[in-house]
Structure 1
């Protein structure tokens, strides 16, 4: 099935511009992440903390200068020496003087050049209508210029949890449409990925061997083995017996130094599954078989961010995303199965029990399984012909 037509803010802006409806136009911009071009050299000065502000790239015509501001879908290719930073509307036009002008979405049907004398009074009167960037979260965005069907769309949908959480289009794999400084900084500070070699090593760690044998995955794999030996299903296998058999397996496999951690992981998984069933992440008799989805979901997004940061080329990013999607189909049966495994992996790593990390992941889970525009409701999980052995 092909996804329904996605919302197109650029088309809505073009309609407002055509009608001369300034309030509607600025109201649309007030709810969007907006992008301002910046010289790559200046971006690296910011990343190196040698600059506190950034010099914008101005568009000159007829002797006039215009600050350029774009919605994500309108970002043009400004060449290798120019990247973008992003923020809310008030951030994007901060410091614009009364007699200076801003050009929004230059080169599109929605282009509108507005003076600071118009923008600042509107912002003063509509302060509460501007959504700060850190509040633009948990949005399911399907970009009309992104992948809408086929293997790449399916693979990108395997990373939809993080995309929705961060209000980024789930179906875009394009170096242009990112805040360059934020992506480089995020990879460096959150993921420990400061350069291309570290990016490649991280991708190999997540999806290179096809199945990461973390404590969570190990105890889940052992539960399936023990249940098969006893002729039971996973939900019928009680935690005490499971933990006891895990301890016995450790003795038999010279892994006694792991026994305490693995038994604790059994207790945590059992507790989390109970909560998942209560909150509708699992059926009443459902259980998680693997946390590989946590690695797959991160791999899809780190591939996307690595492309934006310049740590790989388009072809490599695409291959990595496709590999992640292939692994997802090999080890999962459905989108709900993938999602429950993703949330389990996130919980086991975060260790915050049932705090905000869990609450946000649960909300995104339900959004992706209930929103009519979700790729999970419009892209069949295991229907790709090239995965005949899945």
Structure 2
């Protein structure tokens, strides 16, 4: 284990924050909320309710700064993009090149203004492969071609949905529709929290490259998978039901 990973674990204070007012979520709702568990651990949001438990003014500021969301129209547009396209279009374009299966990026589905960013994402991913393998989020470089980063986009989709609800940009009914749709989409690709965690981390590696932030995300994912108090230990990912 590297020095920086040890340092990340030392300062990591995850506690799976719970809403003090019981929400009586169904098992399916709880599972769906925790598609975004890694994001919730980053931000200190509740793991057991639709509302995040965070300050609304702070939520609005973060939505504006990080996602360009300032009202209902921009909220709906961003949520539609995250669910329908997101960063998956970039990963699908670069994964064969990153895995060594192909020599160049497949730009067929990219807009002209997205191609430069695809080059950046490819370098980020290539620079993270050794650490992804070392920490067992990836079996081999070649295996990248078999992955999806649906987990990365859907985790962010759940986070942004919850924030948009707290900000008053979307209704409770709309929020649950989005969050339940995220779970359904993930179940097309994953049968366990382990699989979801791996592809979330791979997506993050593509976006940010290797560094302390990625190490922190890996630690959060590993803790969610192993801690007895983790929300991921309360429900099986593929277990549909009430």
The verdict on a shared fold, with TM-score over 0.5 as the criterion, is: yes
Q: TM-score, length-normalised on structure 1?
A: 0.51
8 Å contact from structure 1 (residues 142, 171) kept in 2: yes
Q: 1:216-256: CA deviations, max 9, x gaps?
A: 13333x58xxxxxxxxxxxxxx944x232x45x66xx698x
Match of 2:94?
219
My pick for the range that moved more, 144-153 or 194-203, is 144-153
2:79 to 182, 192, 203: 203
Match of 2:212?
356
Deviation, 1:361, is: 0.2
8 Å contact from structure 1 (residues 333, 382) kept in 2: yes
8 Å contact from structure 1 (residues 155, 322) kept in 2: yes
Q: How many residue pairs align between the two structures?
A: 227
Runs of 5+ consecutive residues of structure 2 not aligned to the other structure: 1-10
For the pair shown, the structure with the greater C-alpha radius of gyration is 1
Match of 2:166?
308
Q: TM-score, length-normalised on structure 2?
A: 0.79
Match of 1:336?
194
Runs of 5+ consecutive residues of structure 1 not aligned to the other structure: 1-134, 224-237
Give the Cα–Cα distance (whole angstroms) in 2 for the partners of residues 173 and 330 of structure 1.
23
Deviation, 1:282, is: 3.5
8 Å contact from structure 1 (residues 157, 376) kept in 2: yes
- Are the structure 2 counterparts of residues 148 and 142 from structure 1 closer, same or farther at C-alpha, using a change threshold of 3 Å? farther
Deviation, 1:264, is: 6.5
The higher relative CO (CA closer than 8 Å, separation ≥ 6) is in 2
Secondary structure of the residue aligned to 2:102 is helix
Give the Cα–Cα distance (whole angstroms) in 2 for the partners of residues 299 and 259 of structure 1.
23
Match of 1:189?
65
Q: 1:154-198: CA deviations, max 9, x gaps?
A: 1111000011112221221137x4311111111112221111111
8 Å contact from structure 2 (residues 88, 149) kept in 1: no
Matches within 5 A, 1:230-269: 239-240=99-100, 242-244=101-103, 246=104, 265-266=121-122, 268-269=124-125
- Are the structure 2 counterparts of residues 385 and 174 from structure 1 closer, same or farther at C-alpha, using a change threshold of 3 Å? closer
- Are the structure 2 counterparts of residues 213 and 366 from structure 1 closer, same or farther at C-alpha, using a change threshold of 3 Å? closer
Deviation, 1:285, is: 8.6
8 Å contact from structure 2 (residues 92, 148) kept in 1: yes
8 Å contact from structure 1 (residues 335, 376) kept in 2: yes
1:140 to 11, 16, 20: 16
Deviation, 1:311, is: 0.4
Secondary structure of the residue aligned to 2:165 is helix
Greater fraction of residues in helix: 2
2:49 to 168, 172, 176: 172
